[in-house]
Amino acid sequence: MPTYVPAEAHGDEAGALLAFLEAQRGGLRRAVLGLTDDRANERPSASELSLAGLVKHVAQTEQGWLEIAQELPPSIERNQDTWHLGFQLEDGETLAGVLTFWDDVARRTEEFLRSVPSLDDTFPLPEAPWFPPQTRQSMRWLMLHLIEETARHAGHADILRESLDGKTAFVLVDEERAAQQG
């Protein structure tokens, strides 16, 4: 992303990870800058992905991993029949509402990560065919995975936005900065 991630305070590894996660979130948020719900729901490529769907997916995925790390039951259950709903706005949902939800998830992620005694602390991965049985991962792994997941979809969002109206990440950074100054 064409933005600067400030250095963490000396020895603040959690702060560094959170800063890089927030930078990737920013890329995805900028991709929907100025779009209506209708435009954000368009699918301008051969993919079934829309910008609104990507934002919803990333927000729900971050929440899901936060719940896994806290060993809480999932607040959103998905199965083969409902998986697609995590990639689209449903009746009554808006892009603004999903962004607000994601802001809350981001706040809870930071609070949780700052509350754990060590990034070496672990949590069990859920039973799933794609995870080795009885695997535990560290909080550091959690943060790196969230950065990876968010960055992957921020890249998708760059392509979708440019396909919608020609705006690149650099143009959107400039628009965001102008809006913040004005």
The model's pLDDT over 46-80, given as tens digits with 9 standing for 90+, comes to 889 999 999 999 999 999 999 999 999 999 988 88
Is 59:98 a contact under the CB 8 Å cutoff?
yes
Q: How far apart are CA 131 and CA 123, in angstroms?
A: 13
Is 109:121 a contact under the CB 8 Å cutoff?
no
Q: Torsion over CA of 108, 114, 117 and 118, rounded to 10 degrees?
A: 100
The predicted model scores a pTM of 0.93
Segment 89-142, tens digit of pLDDT: 999 999 999 999 999 999 999 999 999 999 999 999 998 899 999 999 999 999
b/e per residue 145-156 (b: at least 16 CB within 10 A): ebbebbbebbbb
